[in-house]
Amino acid sequence: MLLDDQWKRVLNKLENEVTAVTFDLWLSTLTPIVYSNDELILLAPSITAKNQVNQPAIYNKLTKCVREEFTLYTTVRVTDNQEYEESLKAKTQKAEEKAAPSKFNKKYTFDNFVVGKSNQVVYAAMKNVAERPSSKFNPLFIYGGVGLGKTHLLHAVGNYLWESRPDLNVIYVTCEKFTNDYVDYLRNSKDKLNSEFRDKYRTVDVLMIDDIQFISNRMGIQEEFFHTFNDLYQSNKQIIIASDRPPKEMSALEERLRSRFSSGLIQDIQEPDYETKVAIIKKKCSQDGYLVDEDVVDFIAQRTGTNIREMEGILSKVVFYSSLLGKTHATMEDAKEALKDYGESERTNLDANKIITTVCDFFKVTKDDLLGKKKNKEIVEPRQMCIYLINDMLNIPLTAIGELMGGRDHTTIMHARDKISNQIKINPHVKTLVNDIKSRLLQY
Ligand code: ADP
Ligand code: MG
C-alpha cells in the first residue's frame, strides 16, 4: 500500500516533467513491484514500454523524481515480465545451489587431516591450491602408496572451495569415471546432440582426477584426456591429479602426457611415521567419539603397517569388539582379543634375522658392522637397540642372543638391554625410535 502511495506521488511529479504523450503512453503504465536495498523495481507491460522508459532522457527524469520521494541513493530498474521472472529464477537457483549439500565427502577436510613429516609438503601444496587455484602449482600431481591420504586431500580441496568459492565449478572424478563418461559419450555421439562430455569437462575451473594410474589407451582415452588437459591448462584452469606412482613409472602413459604432468609440481606423500600414526588414531577417536585406552593407541600404531585405511579398520574393529562386551572404554585386552588373528601371523613371521636386517636398514649400517667389533657411536647405538628388540620381542635366552649378535657375552647383552630400556623411560626420542622399528617389524 505504502509503495503504491509513494509511486503515485512520483507520478504526480513526473507529470510536470515530461510530455503528455510520454506520460500517458509509457510512464503511467508502470507498476511498482518491490522496493528494497535502495532499488525500486518497476514492471513495464511490454518490452517496447520498457525500452522507451529506459531512454536516457526519460529514465533520468524518472530517477530524479523517484529519488525525491524515496532516498537519494535509490536506483530504478525498469523491467518486463519475462526478464523479471528470469532474474527471480536465477536468484532462487543460486540460493538452492548454495543450500545444496557439498558433493564432496564431508569427513575429508583439511581440518581432519593430520599433518606430519610424511605429508606436510603435499598438504601445504594442496592447501595453497585450494586457497588460490590456478596461481602457483599447476598442474599439481600428487602420488603415494595406498591409504596414505590422497583421496582425502582431493576432497579437502573440494570442500574448501565449496565453502570459499561457490562461483567455481569444481569437479572430482576417478580415472575410471572419466573413462566411462568418455566411452558413454562416444557411444551416444552419433546423434550429435550429445556434447555433454565436453561441456562437463572443459567448462570446469578446477578438475581433480583421482587414481590416474588406471588410465588406459583404450578408445583414444589418453587423446581425449590430453585435449581436455590442454584446453583447461591454456585457459588457466587448475588441474590436480593423484596417482599411486610418479608419472615416470606409469608405463602405459603417453610421453606427451608425462611431459605435461611434469610441467607443474610433482609431489609425493610418504608413509607415516609412528608419531603421525598415533596422532591419526587419536584424531579418529575424538572425531567418532571412540573411547580408547592410551596403550591401545600405541598397540594399534605399532601393529599396523603404513596403510592408514587399514589402521582405521583395525581401530573400529577394536572399538566394535569392546562395545559388544558392553564396555564404554576399549582396553588392551579388547585390542589383543580383537587382533588375535593378526598376532599369530606376526609371531611366525618374526625372527632374529628379520630384526637384525630391519635395524640395519633403519639405521643405514651394514650387517657386518652391526655384528662386528667397531665401537663408534653410530654402530654401538643400533647394536644395543637390536639387542633390546630381540630380547623384547622374541623368547630367546641371553646367551643365544649373544651368539646371534656376533658371539657376544651374555653380560654384554644384559647391559645393552638395560641401557635401552632405561633410555626409553627417560628419553622420548629413543622411545619413538624403538616404536618406529617395532611397527616396521610388526606390519602385516
Ligand atoms: P589414498 O587415496 O591415498 O589411498 P585415502 O585418502 O583414501 O588414501 O585415505 C585412507 C583413509 O585414511 C581415509 O579414511 C583418510 O581419511 C585416512 N587418512 C589418510 N591420511 C590421513 C591423515 N594424515 N590424517 C587423517 N586421516 C588420514
Ligand atoms: Mg584414493
Spacing, Cα 280 to ligand 1 middle (Å): 9
Q: In this structure, is residue 337 part of a structural domain?
A: yes
CA distance 380 to 395: 23
- Strand pairing partners for 36? 39
Tell which atom from ligand 1 comes closest to the C-alpha of 144.
3
CATH number, domain containing residue 158 = 3.40.50.300
Q: In this structure, is residue 102 part of a structural domain?
A: no
Q: Single out the residue of 141, 149, 434, 114 nearest to residue 270, CA to CA.
A: 149
Instruction: Tell me the pLDDT band of 425, cut-offs 50, 70 and 90.
Output: confident
Probe residue for ligand 1, chosen from 126, 146, 308 as the CB with the greatest number of ligand atoms within 8 Å: 308
Residue 239 CB–ligand 1 contact under 6 Å: no
DSSP state of 192: S
Structural domain harbouring 334: 274-347
Residue 247 CB–ligand 1 contact under 6 Å: no
pLDDT of residue 349: 64
User: What does pLDDT average to over the chain?
Assistant: 88
Q: In this structure, is residue 304 part of a structural domain?
A: yes
- Strand pairing partners for 58? none
Tell me if residue 173 falls in helix, strand or coil: strand
CA distance 44 to 63: 15
Find the helix packing angle between 340-349 and 294-303, rounded to 10°: 50
Say whether both 138 and 251 belong to one domain.
Answer: yes
Q: What angle do CA 141, 276, 139 make, to 5 degrees?
A: 10
CATH number, domain containing residue 389 = 1.10.1750.10
* Mean pLDDT within 172-199: 78
Probe residue for ligand 1, chosen from 109, 110, 152 as the CB with the greatest number of ligand atoms within 8 Å: 152
DSSP state of 181: H
* Mean pLDDT within 262-268: 93
pLDDT of residue 100: 61
Say whether both 158 and 83 belong to one domain.
Answer: no
Angstrom CA distances, 22 to 32, 46, 65, 75, 239, stand at 18, 15, 15, 21, 56
Say whether both 298 and 279 belong to one domain.
Answer: yes
Listed in order, strand segments (DSSP E) in 162-232 are 170-174, 206-210
Say whether both 177 and 150 belong to one domain.
Answer: yes
Instruction: Tell me the pLDDT band of 399, cut-offs 50, 70 and 90.
Output: confident
Tell which atom from ligand 1 comes closest to the C-alpha of 148.
3
Say whether both 238 and 280 belong to one domain.
Answer: no
Ligand nearest to the CA of 119: 1
CATH number, domain containing residue 56 = 3.30.300.180
> What is the tens place of the pLDDT at every residue in 287-333?
888 889 988 999 898 888 788 988 898 898 899 888 888 888 899 98
| Cell reading at 372 | 662386528
> What is the tens place of the pLDDT at every residue in 101-144?
668 999 999 999 999 999 999 999 999 999 999 988 999 999 99
Q: In this structure, is residue 111 part of a structural domain?
A: no
Say whether both 186 and 264 belong to one domain.
Answer: yes
Contacts of 170 (CB under 8 A, 6+ apart): 157, 158, 161, 162, 204, 205, 206, 208
- Strand pairing partners for 98? none
Say whether both 394 and 357 belong to one domain.
Answer: yes
pLDDT of residue 191: 57
Q: Single out the residue of 108, 150, 433, 159 nearest to residue 307, CA to CA.
A: 150
> What is the tens place of the pLDDT at every residue in 356-374?
999 999 999 999 999 999 9
Say whether both 38 and 144 belong to one domain.
Answer: no
> What is the tens place of the pLDDT at every residue in 33-70?
888 878 899 999 999 999 999 999 999 999 999 999 98
Q: In this structure, is residue 428 part of a structural domain?
A: yes
Number of domains in the chain: 4
Three-state SS string over 403-436 comes to: HHCCCCCHHHHHHHHHHHHHHHHHCHHHHHHHHH
Q: In this structure, is residue 161 part of a structural domain?
A: yes
- Nearest-CA residue for ligand 1 atom 23 is 114
Spacing, Cα 309 to ligand 2 middle (Å): 10
Spacing, Cα 308 to ligand 1 middle (Å): 6
| Cell reading at 282 | 587419536
Ligand nearest to the CA of 175: 2
Say whether both 129 and 260 belong to one domain.
Answer: yes
What percent of the chain lies above the pLDDT cut of 70?
A: 94
Say whether both 64 and 88 belong to one domain.
Answer: yes
Instruction: Tell me the pLDDT band of 345, cut-offs 50, 70 and 90.
Output: very low
pLDDT of residue 305: 78
Q: In this structure, is residue 108 part of a structural domain?
A: no
- 295-330 b/e with 16+ CB inside 10 Å = b? ebbbbbbbbbbbbbeebbebbebbbebbeeeeeeeb
Ligand nearest to the CA of 155: 1
What percent of the chain lies above the pLDDT cut of 90?
A: 55
User: Which of 34, 65, 97 corresponds to the end of one domain?
Assistant: 97
Q: In this structure, is residue 296 part of a structural domain?
A: yes
Residue 143 CB–ligand 1 contact under 6 Å: no
Q: Single out the residue of 70, 82, 71, 66 nearest to residue 27, CA to CA.
A: 66
Say whether both 342 and 385 belong to one domain.
Answer: no
Long-range contacts made by residues 43-46, C-beta under 8 angstroms, separation at least 24? 43/79, 43/80, 43/81, 43/84, 44/78, 44/79, 44/80, 45/80, 46/80
Total-model pTM: 0.62
Residue 170 CB–ligand 1 contact under 6 Å: no
Ligand nearest to the CA of 269: 1
Residue 268 CB–ligand 1 contact under 6 Å: no
Lowest mean pLDDT among 161-165, 198-202, 330-334, 399-403: 198-202
192 has a pLDDT exceeding 60: no
Lowest mean pLDDT among 1-5, 402-406, 418-422: 1-5
Check if the beta carbon of residue 46 is closer than 8 Å to that of residue 80: yes
Residue 278 CB–ligand 1 contact under 6 Å: no
Three-state SS string over 71-128 comes to: CCCCEEEEEEHHHHHHHHHHHHHHHHHHHCCCCCCCCCCCCCCCCCCCCHHHHHHHHH
User: Which of 347, 366, 390 corresponds to the end of one domain?
Assistant: 347
Q: What Rg value do the Cα atoms of the chain yield, rounded?
A: 34
- Its sign, for the CA torsion 222, 223, 229, 233, is positive
Say whether both 197 and 291 belong to one domain.
Answer: no
User: Which of 321, 347, 373 corresponds to the end of one domain?
Assistant: 347
Probe residue for ligand 1, chosen from 276, 309, 310, 312 as the CB with the greatest number of ligand atoms within 8 Å: 309
